[in-house]
Amino acid sequence: MKPIRKLAFVVNEEKPGAAELARTLMAVARQAGVKVKLTARFPVTHGFLRGLDACCVIGGDGTLLGVAHEAVREGVPVIGVNRGSLGFLTTFSADEARAHFGDLLLGAYKIAHRSMLDCSTGTGPHDVALNDVLIKNQVNSRLVRLEVVADGELVTDYFCDGLIFSTPTGSTAYNLSAGGPLIHPGAEVIAMTPICPHTLSNRTIIFRENVLLRVFNRSDDSKLLVALDGQRNLKVGIGSPVAISISKLKLSLVQRPNYSHFAVVRTKLNWDGGAAGARKSGS
């Protein structure tokens, strides 16, 4: 891959060891002749990533989500180094970053292109989400009736706490906690998972890649909250639908050459089914 010559660091200084790791990696970059810039602010300011070859995020997945919006608009690949908890997006461990950062700067990496959701409300501006779009009542304790239409065809309506519209990347986030499925990040689909619906047939629906979804608020006494990646909210006018589709924009996520999605899932979700123990004791 292309060598990295201009690099930004976005550091979540609240994460233990993040600032120290940033200093170490910045020293490696400078020694390799790479121009670097640093911020501890996220979401990053508009234009901060312009003209760069890559952005190194040191923190958790929430830190990376605070960079994704600007990175995808500027076409800048993101290197995620995990100093948080699960870290499905921040795929480099601190040890991996220390050991391989010099090689990475020389081009020893691969790029995964992650789909994003395009979301708009009424005639308002469009925005994008890497993980999910959450639609719920502005009042946390109140249920809301939401009608879902796909390409002009009624799907159904839900009396529920809310709906999660997830990308494959976001399937391991709120969608998973709400009982939704895991989806391979290469799939071009949208998952819709209801939150605590008043129905005995609570199931996620998977929509094809070029679908246009519209969600209508059918509760006369409710106002909607539309949250993108849990970080940005859109205003919804009375009677205006929320439109959701797969964006033409994709986030470029830097991964090590031997990256395995399922190895990460097995590790993060502690999947082994006793197989490891069985292999040790049965052979």
pLDDT tens-place string over residues 179-230:
999 999 999 999 999 999 998 888 999 999 999 999 999 998 889 999 999 9
Contact between residue 34 and residue 4 where contact means Cβ atoms under 8 Å apart: yes
User: What does the alpha-carbon distance between residue 67 and residue 79 come to, in Å, rounded to a whole number?
Assistant: 11
**In this structure, what token pair is assigned to residue 61?**
């997945």
pTM: 0.91
Tens-place pLDDT, residues 91-136: 899 999 999 999 999 999 999 999 999 999 988 889 999 999 999 9
Residue of 53, 61, 157, 272 marked active site: 61
Contact between residue 5 and residue 34 where contact means Cβ atoms under 8 Å apart: yes
Helices (H) and strands (E) in the chain, counts: 6, 16
61 is catalytic: yes
pLDDT score of 277: 47
**Is 116-249 in CATH node 2.60.200.30?**
yes
Could you give the percent of the chain with pLDDT greater than 70? 96
| Per-domain boundaries in the chain | 6-109+256-282, 116-249
Sorted by sequence, the CB contacts under 8 Å of residue 227 that are 6+ apart come out as 133, 134, 136, 233
**In this structure, what token pair is assigned to residue 19?**
């600032």
Confidence of residue 279 (pLDDT cuts 50, 70, 90): very low
Contact between residue 98 and residue 106 where contact means Cβ atoms under 8 Å apart: no
Provide the residue type at 150 as one letter: A
pLDDT score of 283: 41
Q: Which fold has domain 6-109+256-282?
A: Rossmann fold (3.40.50)
